[in-house]
Amino acid sequence: MIHASVDVRPASEKDLEAINDIYNHYVAETHVTFDDEPMTMEVRREWFSHYAEAGRHRLMVATESGQVAGYASSSRFRPKPGYLTSVETSVYLSPDAVGKGVGARLYTELFKSLEGEDLHRAYAGIALPNPASIALHEKFAFKRVALFTEQGRKFGRYWDVAWFEKPLGGET
Ligand SMILES: CC(C)(COP(=O)(O)OP(=O)(O)OC[C@H]1O[C@@H](n2cnc3c(N)ncnc32)[C@H](O)[C@@H]1OP(=O)(O)O)[C@@H](O)C(=O)NCCC(=O)NCCS
């Protein structure tokens, strides 16, 4: 069910407002991210400075009829240099774009772009429940390796987070 008119490309500065709007919807309405205040554009621009069109840390956007429908990123897992061969991946779609294969298109292009990079593991932390995100990550060969119970608190309650891992670079 892949939407023929969806295009996936590296993100540019012009996409940041749309990216921020998508993300802030999930901040306000859901537990899938543990941010609890809308991200400002200033913070968003600083965040964008960590990505490039080469290297380990990439940001892809999906567009449909010129509108940003979602984005996917590979980010530093932790700041210490020994973690550089690990990335944390993340994907968010506009609410009207979910369930149409756009997440899979974004991950396909993201992981294609990372081929040949000096990377060994990708991780995704999924606050539960989130069946769509689990299905997407399992489709891309992520395996659940941990369940952290009550790892985050939002909306006055605690949430479990399942951590998923995917080997990269052709070796396990
Ligand atoms: C999670 C998300 C990125 C998935 O992207 P998507 O475009 O909706 O998913 P796709 O249509 O590409 O589907 C990928 C797979 O998941 C399955 N899937 C999608 N939604 C599902 C659901 N609600 N329940 C079970 N499986 C689901 C699809 O059937 C597909 O598997 P298949 O190819 O074997 O049929 C998207 O739903 C989203 O942005 N959700 C809100 C934000 C979010 O939770 N982000 C992740 C934070 S960890």
The architecture of the domain spanning 6-166 is 3-Layer(aba) Sandwich (3.40)
Question: What are the structure tokens assigned to 159, written together?
Answer: 């949430």
- Rounded to whole angstroms, the Cα distance separating 70 from 73 reads 10
Q: Tell which one of 29, 91, 126, 142 to mutate to probe ligand 1, the residue whose CB is within 8 A of the most ligand atoms.
A: 91
pLDDT value at residue 172: 46
Distance, CA 151 to ligand 1 centroid (Å)? 23
pLDDT value at residue 5: 86
Q: Which residues line ligand 1 (CB under 6 A)?
A: 26, 32, 91-93, 98-104, 126, 130-133, 135-136, 139
Stretch 156-170: mean pLDDT, rounded? Answer: 95
Which tens digits make up the pLDDT trace of 61-115?
Answer: 999 999 999 999 999 999 999 999 999 999 999 999 999 999 999 999 999 999 9
pLDDT mean across residues, the chain:
96
User: Where are the chain's structural domains?
Assistant: 6-166
Is 90 exceeded by the pLDDT of residue 153? yes
Cβ-based neighbour number of residue 150 at 10 Å: 10
Which tens digits make up the pLDDT trace of 18-63?
Answer: 999 999 999 999 999 999 999 999 999 999 999 999 999 999 999 9
Q: Per-residue b/e over 44-67, b at no fewer than 16 CB within 10 Å?
A: eeebbeebeeeebbbbbbbbbeee
Band (2; pLDDT cuts 50, 70, 90) = low
Q: By percentage, how much of the chain surpasses pLDDT 90?
A: 95
pLDDT value at residue 170: 66
- Rounded to whole angstroms, the Cα distance separating 153 from 172 reads 33
Distance, CA 82 to ligand 1 centroid (Å)? 31
